[in-house]
Amino acid sequence: MTSKWRRIWASLTGLPLWVRLWLVVLALTNMSSLAFLDTDSGRWTAVAFAAVGVFNMPMVYIQGGLTRLLSVPHVIWISLLIHLIQRLFVDHAIAPGSDEYVFAAAVVAVNGTSLLFDVLESWRWLAGRREILGLHKARRDTVR
């Protein structure tokens, strides 16, 4: 493994446990869209998830770890959430209790919560807090 990949791994594993668990929930919720590609909700969630990944994966590599800048591309989810909320609660286009309904509601809840974190993290990045996250803990653990 190259030193850049080691640094990325150290950044990820140096994050607090709750953040790593949240990232798993976020990723699994969005990746579950693949099981719903035959639905409007699944297709649009998959497209939004892929679009975020197109921006974030190269940024992780270029920056050599996770930074608050990774929050900015999540703005793509705003249009997804508007669409899903419209289908769920305004048009009632998804049958309540159906698998698609549960999936779409989960995406709204998880991605909506993520956007709350993202606003704060984007603000911090704009305010100059641009360090690679998690590396301070990785260094501290190495010194012990």
- What is the separation, in whole angstroms, between the first and last Cα of the chain? 23
Number of domains within the chain: 1
pLDDT tens-digit map of 61-90? 999 999 999 999 999 999 999 999 999 999
Range of the domain at 54: 3-143
Q: Are 63 and 69 in contact (CB under 8 A)?
A: yes
Flag whether the pTM goes above 0.85.
yes
Query: Which of the 8 DSSP states describes residue 36?
Result: G
Average pLDDT over residues 81-102: 98
Residue 140 belongs to what H/E stretch? helix 135-143
Confidence band for 143, pLDDT divided at 50, 70 and 90: very low
